[in-house]
């Protein structure tokens, strides 16, 4: 861990960095899952879903940057390589053999919902550790994920 004049104790910073690192892997995975959907979607709603999935990826990328930078602010090392993400992500593997828009909507909404649940739990965990700034950061990430879930799920809710 790097030295910092941040007034959180080293013990607290270590625990928060562990929490942030776990969610960083999820956010990177979510971003890549959205790109997988973006690249491979097919069907009559192609262009709308293609653009929507890119927006989901952009939101996830913003979350990745927020989380990674917070790790470094606390004296940690942001570990975001593909191999690390593959080992640490709590999200389910994205199905690679799908093409239909509805199938991608279902798969991506599942990933967004799972990610949102993990981030909401992290809000409380960071607060319990006494790091309200990280808790607030997770709240911001949660709002972005929930908004994208709403946009994606709308494609499942129509008749």
- Looking at the structure of the chain, the number of domains it has is 1
Is residue 106 in some structural domain?
Answer: yes
130 lies in a domain?
yes
Closest CA to 94 of 78, 116, 115, 119: 115
Q: Is residue 1 part of a domain?
A: no
Residue 153: how many other CB atoms lie within 10 Å = 15
**Residue 4 domain-assigned (yes or no):** no
Q: What is the domain range of residue 49?
A: 10-157
For residue 2, tell me if it sits in a domain: no
Residue 100, helix vs strand vs coil: strand
Task: Look at residue 1 in the predicted model and tell me its pLDDT.
Answer: 87
What are the angstrom distances between the C-alpha of 90 and each of 16, 71, 111, 157?
17, 18, 10, 26
Q: Is residue 51 part of a domain?
A: yes
Per-residue pLDDT of the chain (159 residues; tens, 9 = 90+): 898 989 999 999 999 999 999 999 999 999 999 999 999 999 999 999 999 999 999 999 999 999 999 999 999 999 999 999 999 999 999 999 999 999 999 999 999 999 999 999 999 999 999 999 999 999 999 999 999 999 999 999 876
pTM of the model: 0.96
Instruction: Tell me, yes or no, whether 103 lies in a domain.
Output: yes
Inter-residue contact 104 to 49 (CB < 8 Å): yes
CATH for 130: 1.20.1260.10
């Amino acid at each position: 861990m790097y030295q910092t004049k941040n007034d959180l104790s080293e013990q607290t910073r270590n625990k928060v960095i562990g929490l942030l690192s776990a969610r960083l892997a999820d956010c990177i995975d979510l971003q890549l899952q959205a790109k997988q959907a973006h690249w491979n979607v097919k069907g009559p709603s192609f262009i709308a879903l293609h653009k929507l999935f890119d927006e989901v990826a952009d939101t996830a990328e913003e979350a990745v940057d927020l989380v990674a930078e917070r790790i470094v602010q606390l004296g940690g090392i942001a570990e975001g390589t593909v191999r690390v993400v593959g080992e640490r992500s709590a999200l389910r593997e994205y199905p690679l053999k799908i093409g239909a828009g509805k199938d991608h909507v279902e798969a991506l909404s599942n990933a967004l919902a799972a990610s949102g649940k993990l981030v909401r739990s992290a809000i409380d965990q960071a607060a319990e550790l006494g790091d309200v700034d990280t808790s607030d950061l997770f709240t911001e990430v949660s709002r972005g994920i929930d908004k994208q879930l709403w946009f994606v799920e709308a494609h499942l809710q129509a008749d």
